[in-house]
């Protein structure tokens, strides 16, 4: 397969997404593949969020409720264990999603079984990286939390008294720090997703070491810094555009379904009331309609929304494949094959990432 620029890779990625999910469209299969892509996005970033609760331990002791501390530590430990298990599962689904898009897979189980060691290796790296990042921001985050708690607990106002200027300034400074922290996490999420795009193919297809996978990424960046930068920017823009379009579409569907359901309920109420139904009957029917409405809403969230997000994520899975295909001969051969082929190890003299031809 010839080398595609970051712009040229968009069109075949859209076509691949349609082929995987909608050729043909089957309610169960398409949703299952979309849900796999949706859940696999949980492996993009690891941050031990439950541990932030431990920052409140000094406050609990100051408030005279130290007995809460063992309960909090236990809850945090259980939450961290569940989070770790889910992250490992999501990481394996990330490899399964890669295989499904690459080979136009119809089933999740065969793709899931292929990549146990590779996915665990990648999950372990992400966990270590996430813990290091969390440790780097732990001190300022805990300081911010303690500062806000102290500012609020030390505020003794009488009715009608205005807030001190120092308190207002500290609040705005706290919000600014919080916004900066969110920006840093957003950039980290973006960078982590790019790592997955370019490291996962080598791990999945050849079971390379992490060092070799990162070396290949370095070769790609040094060979084509402009195209790599354009790819990174375009991926961010395409992801935001896709999510916004999916969200708008979902709320339009939700609005239309809600209006139709509300109209049906209203007409039914008028008819039943005209027939002289008692208050008890109307109450029972109203409760039944409420239950149906909740079920319908959950269906729209877990089917329609997951289907939409899954379509966006499937495209974001195909996009790096087509961008890399011409630069990674093995990936290009598998992607261009009319039927899925078994992954073969490249000869030692074949470059993992091919540099673009000189002009």
- Report the pLDDT value the prediction gives residue 338, as an integer from 0 to 100: 67
Q: Which of 89-93, 188-192, 200-204, 354-358 has the lowest mean pLDDT?
A: 354-358
Q: What is the pLDDT of residues 253-285, one digit of tens each?
A: 999 999 999 999 888 888 887 887 777 878 888
Asked if residues 198 and 217 have their Cβ atoms less than 8 Å apart, the reply is yes
Closest-CA residue to 5 (of 164, 248, 229):
229
- Report the pLDDT value the prediction gives residue 357, as an integer from 0 to 100: 44
- Report the pLDDT value the prediction gives residue 76, as an integer from 0 to 100: 85
Closest-CA residue to 328 (of 201, 187, 170, 148):
201
Q: What is the pLDDT of residues 181-216, one digit of tens each?
A: 788 888 889 999 999 999 999 999 998 999 999 999
Q: Locate tokens 């993009």: which residue? A: 44
- Report the pLDDT value the prediction gives residue 169, as an integer from 0 to 100: 73
Q: Which burial class, exposed, middle or buried, applies to 14 when counting CB atoms under 10 A from its CB (0-12, 13-18, 19+)?
A: middle
The span from the CA of 244 to the CA of 236, in Å, is 12
The span from the CA of 267 to the CA of 260, in Å, is 11
Q: What is the pLDDT of residues 289-331, one digit of tens each?
A: 899 999 999 999 889 899 999 999 999 999 999 999 988 988 8
Average pLDDT, the chain: 84
Q: What is the percentage of the chain residues whose pLDDT exceeds 90?
A: 47
Residue 182: half-sphere exposure toward Cβ, Cα within 13 Å: 6
Closest-CA residue to 244 (of 150, 308, 176, 319):
308
- Report the pLDDT value the prediction gives residue 277, as an integer from 0 to 100: 75
- Report the pLDDT value the prediction gives residue 214, as an integer from 0 to 100: 93
Asked if residues 123 and 196 have their Cβ atoms less than 8 Å apart, the reply is no
Q: Which range, 122-136, 143-157, 306-320, has the best average confidence (pLDDT)?
A: 306-320
Q: What is the percentage of the chain residues whose pLDDT exceeds 70?
A: 83
Q: What are the residues whose beta carbons fall under 8 Å from the beta carbon of 265, sequence distance 6 or more?
A: 289, 293
The span from the CA of 115 to the CA of 346, in Å, is 18
Buried b (16+ CB within 10 A) or exposed e, 308-342: bbbbbbbbbbbbbbbbbbbbbbbbbebbeeeeeee
Helix axes 165-206, 210-223, angle to 10 degrees: 100
Asked if residues 48 and 130 have their Cβ atoms less than 8 Å apart, the reply is yes
pTM of this structure: 0.81
The span from the CA of 315 to the CA of 91, in Å, is 18
């Amino acid at each position: 397969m010839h080398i595609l620029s970051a712009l040229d890779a968009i069109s075949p990625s859209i076509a691949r997404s349609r082929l995987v999910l909608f050729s043909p469209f089957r309610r169960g299969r398409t949703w299952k593949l979309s849900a796999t892509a949706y859940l696999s996005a949980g492996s993009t970033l690891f941050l031990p969020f439950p541990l932030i609760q431990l920052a409140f331990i000094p406050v609990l002791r100051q408030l005279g409720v130290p007995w809460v501390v063992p309960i909090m530590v236990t809850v945090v430990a259980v939450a961290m264990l569940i989070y770790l298990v889910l992250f490992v599962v999501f990481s394996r689904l990330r490899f399964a999603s890669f295989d499904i898009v690459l080979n136009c897979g119809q089933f999740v189980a065969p793709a899931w079984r292929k990549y146990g060691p590779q996915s665990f290796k990648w999950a372990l790296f992400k966990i270590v990286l996430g813990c290091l990042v969390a440790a780097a921001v732990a001190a300022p985050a805990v300081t911010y939390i303690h500062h806000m708690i102290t500012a609020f607990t030390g505020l003794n106002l009488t009715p009608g008294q205005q807030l001190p200027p120092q308190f207002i300034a500290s609040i705005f400074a706290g919000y600014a720090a919080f916004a900066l922290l969110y920006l840093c996490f957003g950039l980290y999420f973006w960078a982590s997703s790019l790592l997955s795009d370019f490291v996962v193919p080598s791990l999945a297809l050849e079971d390379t070491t992490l060092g070799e996978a990162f070396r290949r990424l370095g070769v790609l960046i040094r060979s084509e810094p402009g195209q790599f930068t354009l790819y990174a920017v375009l991926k961010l823009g395409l992801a935001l555009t896709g999510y916004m379009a999916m969200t708008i579409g979902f709320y339009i569907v939700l609005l239309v379904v809600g209006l139709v359901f509300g109209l049906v309920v209203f007409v039914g109420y008028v008819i039943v009331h005209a027939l002289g139904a008692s208050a008890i009957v109307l109450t029972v029917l109203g409760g039944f309609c409420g239950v149906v409405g909740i079920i319908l809403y959950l269906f729209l969230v877990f089917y329609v929304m997951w289907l939409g997000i899954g379509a966006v994520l499937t495209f974001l899975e195909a996009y790096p494949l087509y961008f890399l295909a011409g630069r990674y001969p093995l990936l290009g051969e598998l992607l261009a094959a009319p039927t899925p082929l078994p992954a073969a190890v490249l000869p030692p003299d074949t470059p993992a990432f091919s540099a673009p031809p000189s002009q």
